[in-house]
Amino acid sequence: MQFDASAFDLETLLNTKYHIYEHTETGKLTVACDEYHVPAHIQEHVDYITPGIKLVAPFRKSKEDPELQKRIFGVTSGRKLAPLLKNLGMTVDALLAVPRLLLCGAVITPACIQALYQVPKGSKADPSNALGIFEDIGDVYSQEDLDIFFLTFAQSIPQGTGPKLEAIDGATAPDPVLKAGAESDLDFQVSYPLIYPQGTVLFQTDDPVYEADYVYKGFLNNFLDALDGSYCSTVDSLDPAYPDPSNATGTYKGALQCGVYTPTNVISISYGGQEADLPIAYQRRQCNEFMKLGLQSVSVVLASGDSGGNVTDDAETSTTRFPSGGGFSNIYATPDYQQTAVDGYLTNSPPPYDSYSTTDNGAIGANGGIYNKGGRGYPDVSAVGDNIVIFNAGAPTLIGGTSASAPIFASILTRINEERLAAGKSTIGFVNPTLYSHPEAFHDITNGSNPGCNTTGFAAAKGWDPMKVI
């Protein structure tokens, strides 16, 4: 239900007081209240009310020169997992003059990734098996960057090779080279050498006007609407309104796009947010959509974040290293396929911290606990994500983050699907139960941790752990 009301009327209806909150670093304004009241006999029919007690995370798009851009965690970086950029430290000619695998400890090229994971050169391109890549928050790839990357590191890929655009609600792509988004450039440059001659599909979301003033509303919903028309029936007041009510140039004046695209067999998403930023019911509706994709034999790969064992932190800035995101959900319980692995970690390598147990955010911090021992553990799998070389805004740079790891793993799944389809088999689909059933297929990293919240975070251990994988 959505309706217009004055602040006074809504305050009277909900027995509350609304305030305007300003984010000190971005200047973004948000209307919210400390609490509101709903009669008991109505509560069971209400998932949440907005504006309410949630402070929707604001967004500030970086205007820095790409070569000087820092990695910034938290609300100041929006909700793409903005990859770390740093100087290459040598000329491209100097890099290419070194035997191709000799510098893999310092600079990760396509050849390094192929060697690390024993990925042979591709030879198949089933027309039904393109890799899907989601992009949002005004981050758009540049074809010029792709071409110079191919010319430098993957000369077997023809110039002009790029994704098929499936634009959602007025989105546009590609962008001129000087406006290129590092996230989008990374996703395509890291995946193409692994999957070629297979192609890619770009799910670019929302019109440029909305993206330019992104406030983390409707995150992923418009994308899911475009894949599943029935999901449009759950249109939410948090989601962008289409036709776009703005009169600015570039607004999308068409209707909300519902069920207009077919999901690819594998979809890579290097964007994310915190469970605390959106209502639980909102997130669970989205979770149901992702489960429906799994039932359609679609594999969805999402980056786990780069803020260690804690939620993102406005004040944390890093220009050299980042702790991989990992830990336990506060709103999803440990799934059956993961239970043995998680129990083994908590029993054999228990974190040195007090814990709590919840699936509704209701017991966070109980008994002094700082992690949810009954929650869904993540990540499920890991891949290299540091010192990846790409071209962005026409220049070579090193980049890092789980933003790189996700499309690498998604590309490997795409290659596996390629072989399965050629053998007359089905695609992998929801892959998690298989991953946990075959830990022998993975390298088990047992050193390291992911610090956060003024702690050392979770430590790596034999088998699954909240830092890397099974």
Among 136-140, 160-164, 407-411, whose mean pLDDT is lowest? 136-140
Average pLDDT over residues 122-138: 96
The answer to whether residue 167 scores a pLDDT higher than 90 is: yes
Length of the chain: 470
344 is in an annotated binding site: no
Among 2-11, 61-70, 203-212, 292-301, whose mean pLDDT is lowest? 61-70
Of 188 and 309, which is predicted with more confidence? 188
Of 370 and 411, which is predicted with more confidence? 411
Write down the domain spans for the chain. Answer: 1-55, 74-326+384-437, 332-378+441-470
How buried is residue 127: exposed, middle or buried, by Cβ count under 10 Å (0-12/13-18/19+)? Answer: exposed
Among 114-128, 343-357, 445-459, whose mean pLDDT is lowest? 445-459
313 is in an annotated binding site: no
What's the confidence (pLDDT) of residue 78?
40
Backbone torsions φ then ψ of 403, nearest 5 degrees: -60, -30
Residues belonging to the active site = 183, 187, 403
Q: Crossing angle for the helix pair 402-422 and 182-195, nearest 10 degrees?
A: 30
Residue 76's pLDDT band (boundaries 50, 70, 90)? very low
Among 128-137, 242-251, 253-262, 271-280, whose mean pLDDT is lowest? 271-280
What's the confidence (pLDDT) of residue 84?
62
Among 22-26, 61-65, 286-290, whose mean pLDDT is lowest? 61-65
**How many C-beta atoms lie closer than 10 Å to residue 367's C-beta?**
9
Average pLDDT over residues 317-327: 49
| pLDDT tens digits for range 275-306 | 887 888 889 999 999 999 999 999 999 998 76
User: How many Å apart are CA 24 and CA 376, to the nearest integer?
Assistant: 33
- Of all residues in the chain, the percent with pLDDT exceeding 90 is 52
Could you tell me the CA-to-CA distances from 68 to 33, 74, 78, 366 in Å, in that order? Answer: 38, 19, 18, 42
354 is in an annotated binding site: no
Of 212 and 342, which is predicted with more confidence? 342
Q: Please, which residues have CB within 8 angstroms of residue 398's CB and are 6 or more apart in sequence?
A: 84, 85, 86, 87, 88, 89, 107, 387, 388, 389
- Of all residues in the chain, the percent with pLDDT exceeding 70 is 85
How buried is residue 35: exposed, middle or buried, by Cβ count under 10 Å (0-12/13-18/19+)? Answer: exposed
The answer to whether residue 237 scores a pLDDT higher than 90 is: no
The answer to whether residue 469 scores a pLDDT higher than 80 is: no
Average pLDDT over residues 339-359: 90
Pair type for strands 395-400 and 388-392: antiparallel
Average pLDDT over residues 44-73: 49
Of 65 and 18, which is predicted with more confidence? 18
* Nearest by Cα to 343 from 389, 365, 312, 375: 375
Q: CA gyration radius for the chain?
A: 22
444 is in an annotated binding site: yes
Pair type for strands 164-165 and 299-302: unpaired
Could you tell me the CA-to-CA distances from 381 to 187, 236, 266, 332, 469 in Å, in that order? Answer: 18, 32, 15, 18, 4
Both tokens of 345, joined, read: 């970690």
Of 273 and 67, which is predicted with more confidence? 273
Return the ∠ at Cα 72 (arms to 326 and 470), rounded to 5°: 15
Domain 74-326+384-437 has CATH 3.40.1080.10: no
Average pLDDT over residues 241-258: 92
Per the CB < 8 A criterion, the answer to whether 86 and 320 are in contact is: yes
User: How many Å apart are CA 231 and CA 385, to the nearest integer?
Assistant: 33
* Nearest by Cα to 301 from 277, 331, 275, 271: 271
Say which amino acid occupies 101.
Answer: L
Greatest alpha-carbon span in the chain: 73
Average pLDDT over residues 8-29: 80
Mean pLDDT of the chain: 84
What's the confidence (pLDDT) of residue 71?
27
User: How many Å apart are CA 192 and CA 411, to the nearest integer?
Assistant: 8
